[in-house]
Amino acid sequence: MAEAAAAKTAPWTGASDAAPALPQKFPWARLLPALGPVLLFVLWDAAVRYGYIKAILLPTPWDTLVALVSGLAGGPLMIDFAVTVKRTLEAFAIAAIIGVPLGVLLGSNERAYRSVEFLIDFFRSTPSSALIPLFLLIFGVSDVNKVAIAAFGALLIVLFNSAYGVMNARKQRIMAAKVMGASRWQIFKDVLIWESLQPTFVGLRSAVSMALVIVIVAEMFIGSDTGLGHRIIDAQQVLNVKSMYSAILSAGILGYALNVLFLVIERRVVHWSGR
Amino acid sequence: MNDMRPINVAPVADVPVAPFVPGPAGTHITIRGLTKYFAGWPLYENFDLNIPKHKIVSVFGPNGCGKSTLINMIAGLVPIDAGEILFDGKSLADTKIGYVFQNYREAMFPWLRTIDNIAYPLKLAGKSKAELDRRVAELVASFDVKFDLNRFPYELSGGQQQTASIMRALAPEPEVLFLDEPFSALDFEMTLFIREKLQEVFMQTGTTMMLVSHDLEEAVYLADEVLLLTKRPTRIAEILRYGDARPRTVATLSEPSFIATKKQSLEIFQREVRR
């Protein structure tokens, strides 16, 4: 209303005239994230083209991309990719289903957590790949083995983050619930669990990355005839570099995609985070 | 086994028990022999206080004298070392209280919509959906809420969030409302607005209120009694009565009675700070 009245008395308003007069600039800044990858491919191409690196060790980026796309579009790479995704998600699911409830429970009873804290921290600090021989003894050279060890590594991360999420819940929110007459159980289900969600998601995101790393390592070194890890090591043995690099790139794409996926889910679920 | 009894029983009869002295007529909260130590030092020792019913008491005192601790102990948020606190002769467990925190951001639950935050204490009390809706509608009317309660708290301004958290505290129709520096995190405009709302609510309901404030003008403006505390170990320096009729307005601020009360409070405060 005020604007309309102002327009009547003063027909010229600087703001409305100036806006369309601005030249339409192309948003170059939006292309910045693409700069790094393009630069990498240019350098890569130059290194191969001018013979700094032998073509037998490094194919051109174009050849690699073609191998990647054709491999993923129904080729053998696609099957290995799918197998690795399946193992990673299985390991992750086990870790999440056990880790989140157990972590929340341990976190809500600080004494219980303190009594197992050293174990959690110790095995969290132990590279899971160092435990592969141990898991070989227990599970043998099987598919279960690869999922089990990845689940173990991921589980500890989930557990740790969920437990700390509960322990570090904002004291004032707990006090607010308490002063409104909430019982211990009501504080647990209405405050603590919600407060732990954000750190839990950080844990889940790290856990899915960890599961992927361990699955790939396990596929490389525990007798396997499927999976990206198996494909990478096999291709390397016979110097099939195009296949090797395309498998490496697809493992990278998988890791990146999983991370983005979990970030998106996290933002949906923990919508209040950081606000 | 009767002969065993005297060995295990403390010689209660030998210790003189201070007789419980009830407060004057119209006392709501009776505090007797309240003792609280912090890191081995007494903060409150044998502290007695009567809080009158249907009145607003502002708590004012030097830094670190434990103004917030006092209301937190009465509200059951901070455990006491010794003493007794009764509400109309009842314990805290049998008393409905409301509490408004200074930091509304950490007092509201960001995973609940604002309206569900306000209804939360009613849900805790096991109220039906219909009762819940009726009460929230009542609060919306009495606070003349202009913002959208279906938003999440973090989508509202600071003043709106604090308004909502006062509504939440008042939702279960508490016998006592505690306010711990409720205006400190707000800008001046919002402070004035919420101060008026609080006065309106008090005139409608007569809810006993205890207000901790670090702004003397605000403390006197809202109060029936200004409770002035000493440095620790904290005692009552003085209780000033301020009886100007409500609604108090901007004009009240220049009334001789207001100025006199404020001046006297300041003198006592300065005397206590220098002591």
> Any CB–CB contact under 8 A between A186 and chain B?
yes
> Which of A23-32, A253-262, B69-78 bottoms out in mean pLDDT, i.e. has the lowest?
A23-32
Averaged over A195-216, what is the pLDDT?
95
Could A181 and B111 be called an inter-chain contact, meaning their C-beta atoms sit closer than 8 Å?
no
Neighbour tally for A208: CB within 10 Å: 25
pLDDT at residue A54 is higher than 90:
no
Domain total in chain A: 1
Per-run averaged pLDDT (10 residues), chain B, 275 residues: 48 59 88 92 93 96 90 95 94 94 93 96 94 94 90 94 94 95 88 91 94 92 95 92 92 93 95 89
Q: Where are the beta strands (DSSP E) in chain A?
A: none
As given in the structure block, the two tokens for residue A100 are 């989140």
Question: Which pLDDT value is given to residue B35?
Answer: 95
Whether residue A18 is contained in a domain is answered as: no
Contacts of A271 in chain B (CB under 8 A): 152
Nearest CB among A172, A197, A275 relative to B106 is that of A172
Whether residue A38 is contained in a domain is answered as: no
> Any CB–CB contact under 8 A between A185 and chain B?
no
Closest A-chain CA to B113: A272
B252 exposed, middle or buried (CB, 10 Å; 0-12, 13-18, 19+)? Answer: middle
- Residue B273 CA to residue B275 CA, distance in Å, equals 6
> Any CB–CB contact under 8 A between B76 and chain A?
yes
What does the radius of gyration of chain B's CA atoms come to, in whole angstroms?
21
Helices and strands, counts by H and E, chain B:
8, 9
Could B111 and A178 be called an inter-chain contact, meaning their C-beta atoms sit closer than 8 Å?
no
Could A173 and B107 be called an inter-chain contact, meaning their C-beta atoms sit closer than 8 Å?
yes
ipTM of this predicted structure: 0.85
Could A181 and B76 be called an inter-chain contact, meaning their C-beta atoms sit closer than 8 Å?
no
Could A181 and B96 be called an inter-chain contact, meaning their C-beta atoms sit closer than 8 Å?
yes
pLDDT at residue A17 is higher than 50:
no
Closest A-chain CA to B107: A173
Q: Which helix (H) or strand (E) holds B189?
A: helix B188-205
Compute the nearest-CA separation of A107 from chain B (Å). 20
Question: Percentage of residues in chain A with pLDDT exceeding 90?
Answer: 64
Burial A20-33 (b: 16+ CB within 10 A, else e): eeeeeeeeeeeeee
> Any CB–CB contact under 8 A between A143 and chain B?
no
Question: Where does the pLDDT of residue A179 fall: very low under 50, low under 70, confident under 90, or very high at 90 and above?
Answer: very high
Question: Where does the pLDDT of residue A7 fall: very low under 50, low under 70, confident under 90, or very high at 90 and above?
Answer: very low
Whether residue A118 is contained in a domain is answered as: yes
pLDDT in tens, A81-123: 999 999 999 999 999 999 999 999 999 888 999 999 999 999 9
Whether residue A56 is contained in a domain is answered as: no
> Any CB–CB contact under 8 A between A197 and chain B?
yes
Better-predicted residue by pLDDT, A29 or A91? A91
- Residue B165 CA to residue B183 CA, distance in Å, equals 12
Report DSSP letters for B90-124, one per residue.
Answer: B-GGGS-EEEE-S-GGGTS-TTS-HHHHHHHHHHH
Phi, psi at residue A146, to the nearest 5°? -65, -45
Whether residue A200 is contained in a domain is answered as: yes
Question: Which pLDDT value is given to residue A10?
Answer: 43
Question: Where does the pLDDT of residue A8 fall: very low under 50, low under 70, confident under 90, or very high at 90 and above?
Answer: very low
pLDDT in tens, A147-176: 999 999 999 999 999 999 999 988 899 999
Q: How far apart are the first and last CA of chain A?
A: 33
Could B103 and A172 be called an inter-chain contact, meaning their C-beta atoms sit closer than 8 Å?
yes
* Residue owning tokens 């870790």: A95
Whether residue A274 is contained in a domain is answered as: no
> Any CB–CB contact under 8 A between B82 and chain A?
no
Compute the nearest-CA separation of A169 from chain B (Å). 10
- Residue B55 CA to residue B210 CA, distance in Å, equals 9
pLDDT at residue A142 is higher than 70:
yes
Question: Which pLDDT value is given to residue B4?
Answer: 46
Neighbour tally for A155: CB within 10 Å: 27
- Give which of A272, A273, A275 to mutate to test B binding, by max B Cβ within 10 Å: A272
Nearest CB among A179, A191, A272 relative to B97 is that of A179
> Any CB–CB contact under 8 A between A124 and chain B?
no
Whether residue A275 is contained in a domain is answered as: no
Could A180 and B124 be called an inter-chain contact, meaning their C-beta atoms sit closer than 8 Å?
yes
> Any CB–CB contact under 8 A between B49 and chain A?
no
Contacts of A180 in chain B (CB under 8 A): 99, 120-121, 124, 168, 172
Domain that holds residue A66: 61-269
Contacts of A176 in chain B (CB under 8 A): 99, 101, 107-109
The CATH number of residue A238's host domain is 1.10.3720.10
Could A181 and B152 be called an inter-chain contact, meaning their C-beta atoms sit closer than 8 Å?
no
As given in the structure block, the two tokens for residue B192 are 């004035």
Report DSSP letters for A170-231, one per residue.
Answer: -HHHHHHHHHTT--HHHHIIIIIHHHHHHHHHHHHHHHHHHHHHHHHHHHHHS--SSSHHHH
Question: Which pLDDT value is given to residue A22?
Answer: 61
Contacts of A272 in chain B (CB under 8 A): 110-111, 152, 154
Whether residue A177 is contained in a domain is answered as: yes
What does the radius of gyration of chain A's CA atoms come to, in whole angstroms?
26
Nearest CB among B107, B108, B124 relative to A181 is that of B124
Question: Which pLDDT value is given to residue A15?
Answer: 43
Say how far residue B270 (Cα) sits from the centre of its chain: 24
